[in-house]
Amino acid sequence: MELLTINNVWMMICTALVFFMHTGFAFLEIGLTRQKNTINILFKNIFIITVGLLLYYMIGFNLMYPGDFNGFIGSIVPGISPPENGMTAEYADGGYTWWTDFLFQGMFAATAATIVSGAVAERMKIGAFMIFTVVYLGFVYPIAGSWQWGGGFLSSLTIGDAEGFYDFAGSTLVHSVGGWAALVAVYLLGARIGKFYNGTSQAIPGHNIPLATAGVLILWLGWFGFNGGSVLSANPEATSLTLVTTCLAAAAGGVVAMITSTILYKNLDLTMFLNGILGGLVGITAGADQMSPEDAILIGVIAGALIVFAVSLVDKIKLDDPVGAIAVHLICGVWGTLAVGLFGAKAGVDQFLVQLIGVLCYAVFCIATSFLIIFALKKTIGIRVSEREELEGLDAHEHQMDAYPDFRLNEH
């Protein structure tokens, strides 16, 4: 019982850290966008975590962890109720209780939609985004998660010596699931006014880089819970290795992104430095529990370089992603998932092929479902604000609020 208590306390701490990541996402998104859209971005982030938790309670948790099912989609059973052993050491090998399990997984669920929030910033209708969030978080994310974490067909996919697709903490199941949807949403929305002029990408600076920097540091801290909690117990050896590999990959990603961007663009770009850190974190997430420190650094190095080239590629194909969500969460999510087949305990050609098949399965499913949802919204209620609303800011038109009001007393 004492060990269960220790494990459960650690898992609750990790749950709190993952919850705190939503503060990091909010700070990062508002920092890298313009002042006139601050309220809109904050509203979306608060909506995601509140509605996401309720949806996960009502249908998501059971849909993602259905027990015995066909391996592709479970039945929708509303609400949750703990099994008889849910509060004992018999549940989850004594790693945590049933209620902790639900809450920890619920925090992960909300993250997928937050990734989309940043990519569509400054021009998507708030109502359309809210509907998308409900459908994607309520159904798409838990079905996708069930394929591996819920014991679905990918968890038992066997090729040669490889037994099962592996994604420790969600490089694909969380980050790429959000990243694919972000890619589709950005494509269907179109670029912000002024982003591309005569075929050339124009910089639209964020209004508060110090806040964006704080957001990245908060996210890095939150990743201690994101990856550390995915050990699913307080096992000292496993948790300490996981946190070491997580931090080394983040540091390597940041440094290499900084160096690469400086060589290419001849300036010390802080935003690229920050996204390099996040790229390293996303990249290590799939295999943080089984990589050596050297493997982790190499994964971060490649992720950091990928960030710089991916951001450039996104611009070249005329996609407008204000916060670099596609480069960070999609590109580095795919890289981190494939890296499991190249490094660590499961490295090998067979495991690489299993990882690649898993990546492709999630790509097809997430692209198809997000396209259907967003395209349907586009053809019905519309997904983009008017030109006037975009130019004057979503805060004024969709919220009738100002994030930074002038508090000086009126002179009479």
- Residue 378 has a pLDDT of 98
Is there a domain that residue 77 lies in?
A: yes
Q: What is the biggest distance separating any 2 CA atoms in the chain, rounded to whole angstroms?
A: 82
Strand partners, 159: 162
User: What tens digit of pLDDT does each residue of 1-44 get?
Assistant: 689 999 999 999 999 999 999 999 999 999 999 999 999 999 99
> What is the total count of domains within the chain?
1
What predicted TM-score, i.e. pTM, was given to this entire model?
Answer: 0.97
Let me know if residue 171 belongs to a domain: yes
Q: What is the pLDDT of residue 408?
A: 52
φ and ψ at residue 201, rounded to 5 degrees: -70, 135
Burial state string for 123-137 with b = 16 or more CB within 10 A and e = fewer than 16: bbbbebbebbbbbbb
- Residue 412 domain-assigned? no
CA-CA distance, 41 to 26, in Å (whole number)?
Answer: 7
Mean pLDDT of the chain: 96
pLDDT at 112: 85
Residue 246 lies in a domain: yes
Whole-number Cα distances in Å, 130 to 50, 70, 193, 218 = 12, 31, 23, 25
Q: Does residue 412 register a pLDDT over 80?
A: no
Residues 6+ apart with CB under 8 A from 192: 122, 123, 204, 320, 322, 390
Confidence (pLDDT) at 113: 87
Statement: residue 173 has pLDDT above 90:
yes
Q: How far apart are CA 97 and CA 119, in angstroms?
A: 35
The two tokens of residue 27 are: 């700070």
In a domain, 410, yes or no: no
User: Could you list the residue range(s) of the whole structural domain that residue 174 is in?
Assistant: 2-399
Q: Where are the alpha helices (DSSP H) in 33-97?
A: 38-55, 61-64
pLDDT value at 347 more than 60? yes
Other C-beta atoms within 10 Å of 70: how many? Answer: 10
Task: Kindly state the DSSP code that residue 253 receives in the 8-state scheme.
Answer: H
Helix (H) / strand (E) element for 201: namely: strand 200-201
407 assigned to some structural domain? no
CATH number at residue 388: 1.10.3430.10
272 CB contacts (<8 Å, ≥6 apart)? 257, 258, 261, 307, 308, 311
- Give the pLDDT band (50/70/90) at residue 344: confident
Torsion sign across C-alpha atoms 93, 97, 103, 104: negative
In this prediction, residues 79-93 reach a mean pLDDT of 93
Instruction: Give the residue-averaged pLDDT of 366-390.
Output: 98
Alpha helix locations (H) across 190-329?
A: 209-228, 236-265, 270-284, 293-316, 325
Residues 117, 304, 209, 112, Cα dihedral to 10°: 20
Q: With DSSP H G I counted as helix, E B as strand and the rest as coil, what are the percentages for the chain, rounded to 5?
A: 70, 0, 30
Phi/psi zone of residue 343: left (φ > 0), alpha (ψ -120 to 50 degrees), beta?
A: beta
Banded pLDDT at 411 (limits 50, 70, 90): very low
Summarize the confidence of residues 243-253 as an average pLDDT.
Answer: 98
Does residue 294 surpass a pLDDT of 90?
Answer: yes
Phi, psi of 70 (to 5 degrees): -75, 0
Domain assignment present for 259: yes
Which of the residue ranges 57-61, 205-209, 342-346, 368-372 would you say has the lowest mean pLDDT? 342-346
* 3-class SS of residue 132: helix
Confidence of residue 264 (pLDDT cuts 50, 70, 90): very high
Distance CA 51, CA 41 (A): 15
Neighbour tally for 81: CB within 10 Å: 8
Closest CA to 27 of 216, 205, 225: 216
Q: pLDDT for 129-149, tens place per residue?
A: 999 999 999 999 999 999 999
Q: How far apart are CA 288 and CA 282, in angstroms?
A: 10
Q: How many Cα atoms are found within 13 Å in the side-chain-facing hemisphere of 385?
A: 26
Residue 229's pLDDT band, with cuts at 50, 70 and 90, is very high
Helices (H) and strands (E) in the chain, counts: 16, 4
Please give the backbone phi and psi of residue 398, each rounded to the nearest 5 degrees, phi first. -100, -15
Q: In this structure, is residue 411 part of a structural domain?
A: no
CB 172 within 8 A of CB 178: no
Q: Which two tokens stand for residue 222?
A: 């939150």
Q: Which amino acid is at 86?
A: G
